[in-house]
Amino acid sequence: MMMRPVPILTAAWRSHIIICQTRSRFISLRRYASRRSNHNELPSYIKYGFIIPMTGLTIGSVYAYYSCLDYAPYTERKRLICTNPKWEQEMGHKQYKELLQKFKGDILPADHRASVTVQRVGSRIAAAAQSFSAQYGQTIDTTNATSSPHTYTVVRSPEANAFVIPGNHVFVLTGLFRYAHNEDDLASVLGHEMAHNIARHAGERVSESILMTILSRLVLILDPTGILFTLLVPAQQLLVALPHSREHEVEADKIGIVLASEACYDPRSAKIVFSRMKEDGDKKSVSPPEFISTHPGYDTRLSYFDKWMPDALERYNKDGGNKCRAIREQMKRARKMAASMHNATERRSR
């Protein structure tokens, strides 16, 4: 009698074999994927020698940038400033000593009529600057920008210029008196220069220089050929440095007429002085386009004075003008006394 053949593999065994085959294929795929992943992974020298340091430097730079954001007094302009007022003053004191050596022999004596006038007008502007800083300073450090005693140095020079360096060192070059014919005119110039100091524009320029140095290093790391760097330098000048310089000048103009009016000097003299400079400049040479200049054009500045003058005159004429009327009488007596002392000194020297 013929017997039916017994199936070699039952259904259960066939399922077991299929599962084992599938598992084997899955393991093979994982090993293949792992080998592919290891093959595509960045070399460790790139990961640890470039990407991680660059990421850390970028994060640190962004943090430092936002930590250094500040607001200028009175105008509320947002700006980058990472220097300390104390450091700025120390640098100013150092520069002051260097300038004294540079101008040695051309510095007018303290009892010279021009020196006495600059001292008298500057002292009133400095007092107004101290009050202004206390009122509009955003931080204690900003107020400290005017805490050092002021020095006044008048230099015999044909150049029409005046400047104030950190540490409250005021320099006036005698060529300025071609345009500043009286104390009101001089006050408008000194107010502008002291405004630079109050707003800490020197600290801003240093901060921008530090930022650009860091950015330049990053650019050279990214592009060792230096092509991007050669494009960065003129772009930084045209798009950052020059616009900020013009912005500083406009801001100093705005704060300057406030200081002059608070010190009871006629703020309208600012427009008169710049009008004289404009007329003289138009006769001598053609001014460069404003977008490549460190200073705004005279027409731009004169238009801003028209915009700000109502507020300045309101300050000048507050209390019905009684306050400034009395102070200007004191100024008049002080001028007469200074003139008498000057004449007496000249008679003794003959």
Quick one: pLDDT band at residue 64, thresholds 50, 70, 90? confident
The two three-digit tokens of residue 305, written as one number? 């004075």
Average pLDDT, the chain: 84
Among 111-120, 201-210, 253-262, 324-333, where is mean pLDDT lowest?
A: 324-333
Among 106-115, 186-195, 317-326, where is mean pLDDT lowest?
A: 317-326
Residue 267 has pLDDT above 80, yes or no: yes
CA distance 302 to 277: 11
Q: Which of 79-88, 108-117, 219-228, 248-257 has the highest mean pLDDT?
A: 248-257
* Strand partners for 152: 170
Q: What is the pTM of this model?
A: 0.80
C-beta of residue 191 within 8 angstroms of C-beta of residue 257: yes
Residue 104 has pLDDT above 60, yes or no: yes
Quick one: pLDDT band at residue 285, thresholds 50, 70, 90? confident
Write down the H helix ranges in 145-226.
Answer: 183-198, 201-222
C-beta of residue 183 within 8 angstroms of C-beta of residue 165: no
Instruction: Determine what percent of the chain is predicted with pLDDT higher than 90.
Output: 56
Secondary structure (DSSP) of 214-228: HHHHHHHHH-TTSHH
Among 3-7, 30-34, 169-173, where is mean pLDDT lowest?
A: 3-7
pLDDT of residue 180: 96
Single-letter amino acid, residue 47: K
Among 137-141, 224-228, 336-340, where is mean pLDDT lowest?
A: 137-141
* Strand partners for 165: 169
Secondary structure (DSSP) of 45-59: HHIIIIIHHHHHHHH
Supply φ then ψ for residue 149, to 5 degrees: -60, 145
CA distance 21 to 37: 24
pLDDT of residue 188: 97
Q: Over the stretch 29-62, which tens digit does the pLDDT of each residue have?
A: 556 555 555 555 556 655 555 666 667 767 877 7
Quick one: pLDDT band at residue 344, thresholds 50, 70, 90? confident
pLDDT of residue 195: 97
Supply φ then ψ for residue 135, to 5 degrees: -80, -40
CA distance 260 to 272: 14
Cα 345–Cα 347–Cα 350 angle in degrees, nearest 5: 110
Residue 9 has pLDDT above 50, yes or no: no
Question: Can you say how many angstroms the Cα of residue 308 is from the centroid of all Cα atoms in its chain?
Answer: 22
Could you tell me which of 173, 167, 189, 200 has the C-alpha nearest to residue 259? 189
More confident residue, 339 or 32: 339
Q: Over the stretch 196-221, which tens digit does the pLDDT of each residue have?
A: 999 999 999 999 998 888 888 888 88
Could you tell me which of 246, 110, 223, 119 has the C-alpha nearest to residue 170? 119
Residue 102 has pLDDT above 80, yes or no: yes
C-beta of residue 194 within 8 angstroms of C-beta of residue 259: yes
C-beta of residue 169 within 8 angstroms of C-beta of residue 151: yes
Could you tell me which of 168, 156, 192 has the C-alpha nearest to residue 96? 168
Single-letter amino acid, residue 216: S
> Beta strand pairing status for 169-173 and 151-155?
parallel
Q: Over the stretch 207-264, which tens digit does the pLDDT of each residue have?
A: 999 888 888 888 888 888 889 889 988 999 999 999 999 999 999 999 999 999 999 9
Q: Looking at residue 173, what DSSP letter applies?
A: E
pLDDT of residue 59: 80
pLDDT of residue 1: 46
CA distance 228 to 325: 60
Residues sharing a CB contact under 8 Å with residue 177, sequence separation 6 or more, in sequence order: 114
